[in-house]
Amino acid sequence: MQINKPITKPTKQRKAVYQAPDHRRHKLFAAPLSSTLKATHGVRSFPVRSGDTVRVMRGDHEGFEGKISRIDLMKYRVYIEGLTREKVDGTAIFVSVHPSKVMITNLNLDDKWRKKLLERKKKMRKETEAEEKPVEKLPRETTKIKEVVVKEKMPAEEKPPEKKPKREKKKIVKKTVAKKEKQAEETPKEEKKPKTKKPKTKRKAAEKTEGET
């Protein structure tokens, strides 16, 4: 079975709109109903037809109300009675309006099939609303919990543990170390005399005597 993927490319979306068959074009002519019609018929929007009274909601002609005289399925436009403009030569022509900029104030129900469609839509909407309604949760049974106070037996006052006296460490000194220290004290240190350098003349004389010998 072939699955139709949604079209995301804008160029392909425009092409699909302007090459759509008549049954799809008819759905694209849907316009919102007024608050009174919504209450009576229970439908939010419905496709526009010639004979419906309509009010312009956006654009230069906002607030204009009148009957639809003609519908252009090829260009997706609606023509309303009385909504005209003058050309340069003085002739009056109808101004086209897109069905999305229009609100239906009165429906033309001469067609019996249109009445049946409205009734079917109303029934379907009621069913969907009933399904979407959240299920009312029943109140939970409240159970009373008795608070039971349990008296815990307090432990008897414990005495702190007696600390044991620390053992004194005996100082052990090696005899060899003591003997060496005594000997060092008894022997006087020899004073080292600083070495003095002989002058150059004396050094040369000494070198000559050594060479002669």
Domains and their CATH numbers in the chain: 10-126 (2.30.30.30)
At 187 the pLDDT is 61
Task: Specify the pLDDT at position 12.
Answer: 94
- The DSSP 8-state label assigned to residue 33 in this structure reads B
Report the pLDDT value the prediction gives residue 132, as an integer from 0 to 100: 76
- The phi, psi pair for 185, rounded to 5°, reads -70, -40
pLDDT in tens, 90-149: 999 999 999 999 999 999 999 999 999 999 988 888 888 888 776 566 566 555 555 555
| Contact (CB, 8 A) for 47 and 26 | yes
Residue 108: partners with Cβ closer than 8 Å, 6 or more residues away: 49, 50, 51, 52, 114
pTM of structure: 0.57
pLDDT at 122: 87
> What residues in the chain have per-residue pLDDT under 70?
1-2, 134-161, 168-182, 184-200, 211-213
